[in-house]
Structure formats: C-alpha cells, structure tokens
Amino acid sequence: MERRKFTREFKLEAVRLIKDRGVSYGQASQDLGVHPSQLRDWVKKFGDDPQHAFPGHGQMKPEQLEIAQLKREVIKLKAERDILKKAAVDSTDERNMMGVVFTPESRNGTNGTARVIEAAEGRAVGTMESRTVAQ
C-alpha cells in the first residue's frame, strides 16, 4: 500500500473546514477520507506556524534551509582543513621527528651513550642506533 500524499492546498482547506466552519474532526475525516489524527496533526502544524505550515515537497522552512546550508559549509570547511593539515605535515615532516635520549651511566666501557629514538605520532617505536657521547 503506497502512502498517500496531500497538497498544501488540500491541507489548508481541511484546516479551514475544521477551524472556520466548525466541522468536527470525525465529520471532516469522513468527508475528506483522511484519518482524524492526521487532521489534528495538520491543525496543530498550522496553529504553530501559519506562514510556513506545510512547506511541500522540496520546500523548507527558513530554519531548515539555514541548517542545511550550514551543514554543507561545515563539510566544505572540514575538507579544506584536512587538505591543509596534510599539506603542512608533508611539507615539514614533523610527524616523524627524531628524539635523542642521553644516558650518563657507563655502558660497555664508555662514559655515556646517546640513543636515537624515532617517534611516530608521539610514541616511541624503538632504538635506531647507539653511539658514544664525548664529555
């Protein structure tokens, strides 16, 4: 069973029938072939915002239109940010920085050693090389 669609004019006329002419929901329901709860919903929506009630297919209330535009803008700005972030990392290569850790205690007969540790996104991944540090 396919869902029935009603035009804005039909809905407005149904609301006028109930509000202006004083026809009961039950009688209007029988006359129009619409469920009474649907008529109550239309009357409520019309009462909440008569200017923008029943915007129709493809039409949006001003608030909904603004929200949709802002969502599109957020998506665009996130994409631009990601592009710039990737370009900054690629040009400076700072995500793969090298750190040096000095250990003053004696190791294998030397006075001190330096270990070069590669860090990938802030976490140490291992020792690359050890060498003697002159004091």
Give the pLDDT of the chain (135 residues) as one tens digit per residue: 787 888 888 888 899 898 888 889 999 999 899 999 999 998 998 888 777 677 666 667 778 889 989 999 999 999 999 998 888 877 665 555 555 555 555 455 555 555 555 444 444 444 444 445 554
Instruction: Measure the CA–CA gap between 42 and 45, rounded to whole angstroms.
Output: 5
Per-residue model confidence (pLDDT) at position 78: 95
Can you read off the two tokens belonging to residue 76? 């665009």
Q: Cα 23 from chain centroid?
A: 45
Q: What is the pLDDT of residue 64?
A: 81
Are residues 123 and 103 located together in one domain of the fold? yes
Domain membership of residue 18 (yes or no) is: yes
Q: Are residues 36 and 65 in the same domain?
A: no
pTM over 0.75: no
Here the tokens at position 102 are 């000095």
- Count: domains in the chain: 3
What is the pLDDT, as a whole number, of residue 95? Answer: 54
What is the predicted pLDDT for the residue at 124?
45
Alpha-carbon distance 92 to 22, whole Å? 74
> Within a domain: residue 110?
yes
Whether residue 128 is contained in a domain is answered as: yes
Instruction: Mark whether 98 and 124 lie in a shared domain.
Output: yes
pLDDT at 121: 43
pLDDT given at position 53? 76
Token pair belonging to 117? 């540790």
Residue 1 placed within a domain: no
Q: Which domain holds residue 85?
A: 60-92
Do residues 82 and 104 both lie within one domain?
no
Residue 17 lies in a domain: yes
All residues at 6 or more sequence positions from 65 whose CB lies less than 8 Å from its CB, including other chains: none
